[in-house]
Amino acid sequence: MTGSAGTPFGAGVVTVLPHADASVVDAVHRAGGRVAPLGDDTRGIVWVANSGSGDLAAALERHPDVAWVQLPWAGVDSFAGTLRRFRDDGRIWTSAKGSYARPVAEHALMLALSVLREVPRRARARTWQADERGHSLFGARVVLLGGGGITEELLRLLSPFGVQATVVRRREAPVEGAARTVTDSALPEVLGGADVLFVASALTERTRGMIGAAELAALPEGAVLVNVARGALVDTDALVAELASGRLGGAGLDVTEPEPLPTGHPLWQLDNALVTPHVADTEAMTVPLFAERVEANVAALLGRGEWVGRIDLHAGY
């Protein structure tokens, strides 16, 4: 079951669960695989829902010959328990990490520019505002938390702005487009020089609550925070306090904790906060991109390519 890249796992029988999404079925066929109900000949499972971890675990228990599992999103925190349960049994797990990087990076840039230019406040205005508040992204000092596909795409989008970019990640391996790459142990140090902090890290036990009250306090006065990863990476109460005080310049959030963000939550009331409802990568954007990922990995299952988006089961992403 533990075959390496380029080694086929027998017949390319794939089961699409919990329902047979048409675009995924077509992708399996394009790669030369065969879609069938879950059975003893199933070698791959493509899971197309962002929930149902227990149901997936039960399917894997009943069918130990399943060699590959494809999850639907870049973030796999919804399946953390199942990943831990099966991480040492030799199965290959892949996610959509990297697939949706472009639309999410585009959304992150939109949020940053909007908050820097005071769009949340101005969009709520019902009278002419004569003040000249606002900041430019050109030449800004930018810190990006996370070293994956979103960060890589965001660095490309930021390049024309001539920003000074620092990437904070688990490993100190350099990221193209960043002037500096550091490990997360250096986070307190680099936050003090951030005009804009982009949060684009996977949510794991290690990163949960990574941006708390102390980290927010380390940001310079007027700094902007943008989160397009997971809401639980940031302490919501601490963020609300900093924004309400006026010390931080603002926040652009496509993800929140809790989520959905309840009606009447303080974040909705703050004129220096822009909240979008987890729509950085809409279904219209993600369906064809996920189909491409499935097609590539079915080909790998058949021994005709490399696995794409392979999950590090011990790191959790």
Query: What is the domain-level CATH number for residue 215?
Result: 3.40.50.720
Q: Which residues are catalytic?
A: 230, 259, 278
Show the tokens assigned to 241: 């306090």
Backbone phi, psi, residue 277, to 5°: -85, 60
254: containing domain: 101-275
pLDDT in tens, 289-311: 999 999 999 999 999 999 999 99
How is residue 138 annotated by DSSP? T
- Tell me if residue 288 falls in helix, strand or coil: helix
Residue 179 sits in the same domain as residue 193: yes
- How high is the pLDDT of residue 172? 86
pLDDT in tens, 128-176: 988 989 999 999 999 999 999 999 999 999 999 999 999 999 988 999 9
Residue 137 sits in the same domain as residue 66: no
Residue 54 sits in the same domain as residue 133: no
Residue 82 sits in the same domain as residue 107: no
Q: Decide if 294 is inside a domain.
A: yes
pLDDT in tens, 43-75: 999 999 989 999 999 999 999 999 999 999 998
pLDDT in tens, 236-285: 999 999 999 999 999 999 999 999 999 999 999 999 999 999 999 998 99
Please check whether residue 226 is in contact with residue 252, taking contact to mean a CB–CB distance below 8 angstroms.
Answer: yes
Residue 80 sits in the same domain as residue 114: no
> pTM of whole model > 0.75?
yes
Residue 213 sits in the same domain as residue 116: yes
Q: For residues 53 and 21, what is the distance between their CA atoms, to the nearest angstrom? A: 18
Residue 91 sits in the same domain as residue 197: no
Partners of 253 in the β-ladder: 227, 275
Residue 79 sits in the same domain as residue 109: no
Q: For residues 48 and 71, what is the distance between their CA atoms, to the nearest angstrom? A: 7
Residue with tokens 């959905």: 260
Q: Decide if 308 is inside a domain.
A: no
Total residues found in the chain within this entry = 317
| Domains of the chain: total | 2
Q: Does the pLDDT of residue 23 top 90, yes or no?
A: yes
Please check whether residue 129 is in contact with residue 122, taking contact to mean a CB–CB distance below 8 angstroms.
Answer: yes
Q: Decide if 6 is inside a domain.
A: no
- How high is the pLDDT of residue 119? 96
